[in-house]
Amino acid sequence: MENKVASNPIQKSEYWDLITSTLSSYEVKEISRDGKVITELVYDDYFLVSDSWNVNDIGIIPNFKEQFKKYTQKRKNVNFTSENHNFALELKYVMFHRLFNDEIGLRVFFSKYSGYIYRIILFLNEKYPKLQSLLDLDVDEAEKKWIWWLNNNGLKTTRKSHHYKYGGREIRSKLANFFRAVYEQLSHKPQNELGQ
């Protein structure tokens, strides 16, 4: 029997090697005086070893300096502390990519995603404490448990949306969609990076 991550053709050792190596460096992008984008790979294991990412630490990275100057939120940390170290690594990997690919900014990461991460870690610690990887889950079943867990903890899983043409309707909240989004990014991003 091959040692693969469920629903993913990547060998487990390659998968974890990719996550740890990704979190051990980052690409700094700076624009030169002539308008060219200059990239430099910086080897720094901050994102790998730190279970609490601080806005002051991230704000000194050139990619985030402008955002950091405008950052006025009270929240300064996002915590990835989990009973299951693998969950923390997978969540860090997804959030690292979202930050460094400009999918989210510092304000959104520290104000909104910190709560999403906190709740998903609570859920995973409670429901799947022995699981090796999020990719080992049946995502449809796990997502149903996630929605049920959120509802039982008094958190909204739907919100009203109004469209000028189609009227109002209820859609899933961003928090409710977070579990599936993390899973999807984990199931596709490593394959793309390894060229599979």
Higher per-residue pLDDT: 8 or 142: 142
Q: Examine residue 110 and state whether it is found in any structural domain, yes or no.
A: yes
Confirm whether 16 is domain-assigned.
Answer: yes
Within a domain: residue 170? yes
**Residue 178 belongs to some domain of the structure:** yes
Q: Quick check: is 1 in a domain?
A: no
- % of the chain exceeding 90 in pLDDT: 74
Tell me, what's the pLDDT at 158? Answer: 85
Q: In which domain, by residue range, is 48 found? A: 12-193
In this predicted structure, what is the pLDDT of residue 5?
A: 44
User: Contact, 170 vs 158, CB < 8 A?
Assistant: yes
Tally Cβ neighbours within 10 Å of residue 90: 25
Strand partners for 4: 11
Distance CA 2, CA 171 (A): 40
Give the mean pLDDT of the chain: 89
Q: Residue 3: inside a domain, yes or no?
A: no
Residue 2 has pLDDT above 80, yes or no: no
Whether 2 is in a domain gets the answer: no
What is the tally of structural domains in the chain? 1
